[in-house]
Amino acid sequence: MALTLRTDAELERVLAALAEKEGLSRQEIIRRAVLERYERAGHRERVDDSTERMLERWGDVLGRLGRA
C-alpha cells in the first residue's frame, strides 16, 4: 500500500539522522513511530480503565485511609 507523506526541512533532517544512527530506512523509522504511538495510546486507555475499576472497588477504603 502506498502513502505520500509531506515533510518539512526539520522532519527530513530528523528522519535522516535517525535512519543513519539506527541503520534503518526513513520508512521504517516512521512505521515504528506510528506503531509505538498506537501501542502507547492503547496502554493509556487500559490504565485508565483499570484505575476506574479499582476506584469503584476500593474508593471508600482509600477515602478512609486518606482521612486517617
Looking at the predicted structure, is the pLDDT value of residue 68 above 80?
Answer: no
Q: Rounded distance, CA 53 to CA 66, Å?
A: 19
- Are 41 and 51 spatial neighbours (Cβ–Cβ below 8 Å)? no
Tens-place pLDDT, residues 22-64? 999 999 999 999 999 998 888 888 888 999 999 999 989 988 8
Residue 25 neighbours by CB under 8 Å, 6+ apart: 19
Determine the residue type at 28.
E
Q: Mean of the pLDDT values across residues 14-22?
A: 96
